[in-house]
A and B are shown apart, each in its own frame.
Chain A
Amino acid sequence: MSARIANDAKLALSPNVVVTPLGEGALLLHLDSKFFHSINLPGWGILQLLEAGTTLQDIMSKCTDWGAREHERAAIENYLDELISNDLVGSFEGKETGQQAQFSGNWEAPTIERHDEPLERIVTSAFDPSVPLAE
């Protein structure tokens, strides 16, 4: 059991995060920090549940359907902890919508990798994303 997440706590993707499918997984961009993260296919499946709001209990149940075994619970919780600690996922007050997540393939532990270099927070101009030159 995660030290940070209660079984029935409602969780959702943060509003300042955008996601796009990429290869077999997806890429997440945090619009404030400008850091971006790659997630694998099971991670993308879980994230689709989080896009509509869900609970740890529901995530565990769905992962079991997808092939996760009991001993892999810690890896799923670690993945969620990582999402939360990077402000990609947060608590959610609304009603979860029970969105269907797409997952087809062999189950493996969900992973998330933060890319070392974020995008520039201050850019040269609306067209030029490079870091401004000193004037």
Chain B
Amino acid sequence: MGNSQFSCGPVSVTLHAETSQLLERASAPLSLYNADWPEPVHAVDISVTGKNASLPPAKGHFMTCARMTVDNTENGLYASCHSGSTCHYQAAGYHWSIAIPPAHSDAQIREDLVDFLNLALTESWRELGWVPLHAASITSDKNCALLCATAGGGKSTLTASMIRRGWKTLGDDKLLLRTNEDGAVDVAALLHNFNLHPRTRDWFPEVGDLTGLPPYSPWTEKRKVRIESIWPGTTATRSRPTHLIEVARQSDTRGLKLTPLPHAKVLPLLMRQTVIPAHPAWAGQILATLAAAAARLQGWRIEIGDDAYERQDHLAELEELLQ
């Protein structure tokens, strides 16, 4: 049995694994959370064993993902992957028990662990009042914009382009959002990595040749790189969001096209950036946090043309709007 310790935002994970292979595979996704967390952390235990669980699959009453279903139980949660791996959460002791069948291939082990660990972390963050947000963020002294897009929609490239104009970032993919006691809403960084496509170098030469790095998943050509290794001093850990921007690539647009987002569309856009479990207490807390944020955010939609990053003046209008 091997142990390791990880800081994942406000959660401190103690990982116990039965074999060195399981320890290594479970450590990889947990070690990505490299943004500093200034406050005390909440301790969570995760144990990973290699055994057949021989339990029926979860029905997905709490959550249904592409490869995993999750149900509520009397004591916490029960999750299963389509491959046969299972995961139990005992809420009273903040303990997660993951069982991976020994016959699993290395790829199946990795995929199942990523799904279960994502569940363990998001659930733990929610228990602390934080709402996980699948978005990028750029921030200056006075303003902070949350950037939302579908996969491949251009969050990372727009974030990188604004960093080059002096902005800082809280990340391009995973953030946490929380309402404070005074009603204000804060956004916090989890990862200071970027997922960049190798052709980003065409616009931003300082990125260098990324083709030597492994793609970070079988489903994308993007590579994971540390932001500070390319743009030192450009990461931030906390901010107070002021703008919500829906980012969309449009090949028939020249440069950037900015249009205001009606206020009624701000909360729905935020809702589409987080997973809302079918659990009334959790869903109510998430919705209340998002509504508090939406009340304070100016919404904009940005259409990004193929030539948007060829000239710096294309970004001036966006910068003026945000300032």
Contact = CB atoms under 8 A, between A and B. Distances in A.
Contacts of B119: 126
B123 A36 contact: no
Interface in A5-25: 15-23
B274 A27 contact: no
A106 to B, nearest CB: 20
A51 to B, nearest CB: 11
A68 interface: no
Which residue, B132, B274, B287, has most C-beta atoms of chain A within 10 A? B287
A123 B275 contact: yes
Interface residues of A, number: 30
A122 B264 CA distance: 25
A48 interface: no
Contacts of A65: none
A98 interface: no
A129 B275 contact: yes
A126 B280 contact: no
Given A29-B276, A127-B132, A127-B174, A122 B66 contact: yes
Contacts of B41: none
B280 A16 contact: yes
A135 B267 contact: no
B102 interface: no
A129 B122 CA distance: 12
Interface in A58-104: none
A124 B63 CA distance: 11
Contacts of A124: 65-66
Given A20-B288, A22-B267, A115-B268, A125 B66 contact: yes
A130 interface: yes
